[in-house]
Amino acid sequence: MPPSSLPPSHRSASRAPAAARVRVGEDGFLSDAQLEAWVRSGDALRAGASLTTVEGRRFVLTDALRVLGRRNGETDPYGLTGRVLALRQVLRQGGALFSDALRFGAAIYDVEYGAHAAETCGADESGVNPIVR
């Protein structure tokens, strides 16, 4: 039987280990494009603010952005370049959000939207319930 005709559960067994497919960086930021790719490929399942990987790791997602750099100047008066910020935090501090930018005062920054992923303790780690496969 060709691999494409196998059910998804059987096709995924021949793929690379799940840990190599879904990796969250040290800053916890996941771009919207990366999240969508994982969900489309079946490497992760997203339900609202929850992300579960095929190997059972679970994450709580918070809407966030990564500041790529200053758009309209040489200096970074707020020290935001490279930081990951929750959208709620930005709005509370008076920032204005645009489709690809963030404005604080006169400073405009290029941004990438996504989510901050915080790993939660899985049932297998807490000892309550084992992972069901």
Per-residue pLDDT tens for 51-96? 999 888 899 999 999 999 999 888 999 999 999 999 999 999 999 9
Measured from the Cβ of residue 35, the count of other Cβ atoms closer than 10 Å reads: 17
| Closest C-alpha among 27, 30, 31, 55 to residue 42 | 55
DSSP H or E stretch at residue 2: none
| Closest C-alpha among 61, 59, 65, 60 to residue 93 | 65
Q: Quick one: CA dihedral 22, 47, 66, 42, positive or negative?
A: positive
Measured from the Cβ of residue 63, the count of other Cβ atoms closer than 10 Å reads: 14
Residue 74's pLDDT is what?
A: 86
Per-residue pLDDT tens for 4-39? 444 454 444 445 444 447 788 888 999 999 999 999
